[in-house]
Amino acid sequence: MATAAEGALEVRRGVHITGLLSDGNRRVTGVRFPDGELKADLVIDALGRRSPLPAWLAAIGADAPAEESEDFGFVYYGRYFRAPEGAEPRLNAIGLWPFDCYSLLVLPSEAGTWSVTVVTTARDHELRALREEANFTKLVGSCPLHATALDGEPVTGMLAAAGITDRRRELVVNGSPVATGVLTVGDSWSCTNPSLGRGMTLGLMHAAIAAEAVAEHLKDPVALALAHDRLTRERLLPWYQATAQSDRQRAAQIAAVVAGRPPAPQLADPAAAAMRDLLVARALDPDMFRAYLEMVFVLALPQEILSRPGFAERVREVADGRPLGPPPGPARAELLRMLS
């Protein structure tokens, strides 16, 4: 992507932007550097979840963006591995696998490399020992489907990530842009717990939305801001909401286990119950598995799939009331004994 960009654009690397230029009427006209400035018809904020855009907008007298956020306390402990030269990685369980109070996330990458990550909550102080290599290896090695993910040369030491907030930021408030001449794309608009692996796909979808809006409205800054906001709400907001809901449910499950509370009662929400049944049915029926992959690959929203004629009924029939059990591996009590 960088190579393609450099063939079409002037790319300036290592340049630190310190703020926005403005016409004095909440219209962004470029960006500031420590030793200069750059005029622009449009500024696109693609600076990610830590973007300083709200402070930059305040500095030019613009109103604050509308923002909502939830911190579920997820924390990541993991490392990267590489297969021996000429060998293929032996990964028997790829993707996100939820256990009772933790999840395992195995992601293959290029050139025979992959990552293995334990996802849990920072509020569970007893599991902070998993950031130590020996404890991390002990846990992953005790999960039969995941143990082979350790069969490689470690490329890194232990890595940790925390402070992962689900957050959405809107530049159109009550039908009016807080500023014109600036758009947000990707994680600067919304960010979530990345364990579902949707961030890059949604970022590329958002870039396409920005390109579509710019192609039609570049000469009209207000129309551009409103069109970008409308398309974002139509095409991306449902994915953000679905991901945040998944995070909310998973955080509640982990909190119940850590607190020693009984499992959650039967789900009353028909859509949530249908999703639980689909997670059971995907392992039993190829059509259910394909439908599940449509969600994984961001091709169709859960509500789109569940609303297909006869699909919800078929899910219930295949699941047949079976519980959604965790994959093989230590539950919390056994894990705490392993770490003691």
| The two three-digit tokens of residue 269, written as one number | 């929400």
Residue 268 has pLDDT above 70, yes or no: no
Last residue of a domain, one of 161, 188, 223: 161
Please indicate, yes or no, if residue 253 is contained in any of the structural domains: no
Among the listed residues 290, 275, 264, 277, the one whose alpha carbon sits nearest the alpha carbon of residue 318: 277
Q: For residues 290-313, give the mean pLDDT.
A: 92
Return the number of other C-beta atoms located less than 10 Å from residue 109's C-beta.
13
What is the band of 326 on the pLDDT scale with cuts at 50, 70, 90?
Answer: confident
pLDDT at position 86 over 90: no
Are 52 and 179 found together in one domain?
yes
Last residue of a domain, one of 161, 191, 222: 161
Q: Which residue, chain included where needed, has tokens 């369980």?
A: 93
280 shares its domain with 329: yes
Clarify whether residues 47 and 171 are in a common domain: yes
- The first and second tokens of residue 337, run together, are 């004994």
Residues 276 and 133 in one domain: no
Residue 329 domain flag: yes
CATH, residue 227? 3.50.50.60
- End position of a domain, from candidates 205, 240, 275: 240
Residues 77 and 140 in one domain: yes
Of 269 and 148, more confident: 148
The answer to whether residues 80 and 133 belong to one domain is yes
Q: What is the pLDDT, as a whole number, of residue 117?
A: 97
What is the average pLDDT across 253-277? 76
For position 272, what pLDDT does the model report?
74
11 belongs to a structural domain: no
In this prediction the pTM is: 0.87
Higher per-residue confidence, 2 vs 103: 103
Whether 207 shows a pLDDT value over 90: the answer reads yes
Range of 27's domain?
Answer: 17-66+167-240
260 pLDDT band (50/70/90 cuts)? confident
What is the pLDDT averaged over residues 137-146?
A: 96
Asked if residue 123 has pLDDT above 70, the reply is yes
Residue 240, pLDDT > 80, answer yes
**In the chain, what is the straight-line distance between the N-terminal and C-terminal CA atoms, in Å?**
47
Same domain, 44 and 86: no
Q: Would residue 310 count as lying in a domain?
A: yes
Residue 81 shares a structural domain with residue 146: yes
Domain co-membership, 150 together with 177: no
User: Which of 158, 295, 278, 171 is CA-nearest to residue 222?
Assistant: 171
Q: How many domains in the chain?
A: 3
The model's pLDDT over 38-59, given as tens digits with 9 standing for 90+, comes to 999 999 999 999 999 999 999 9
Q: What is the CATH number of the domain that holds 79?
A: 3.30.9.100
The 10s digit of each residue's pLDDT in 175-206 is 999 999 999 999 999 999 888 888 899 999 99
Q: Please give the Cα distance from 267 to 275 (Å, whole number).
A: 10
Report if residue 33 sits inside a domain: yes
Domain presence at residue 9:
no
- Is the per-residue pLDDT at 159 higher than 90? yes
User: Is the domain of 94 the same as that of 230?
Assistant: no
How many whole angstroms separate alpha carbon 131 and alpha carbon 110? Answer: 25
Same domain, 54 and 184: yes
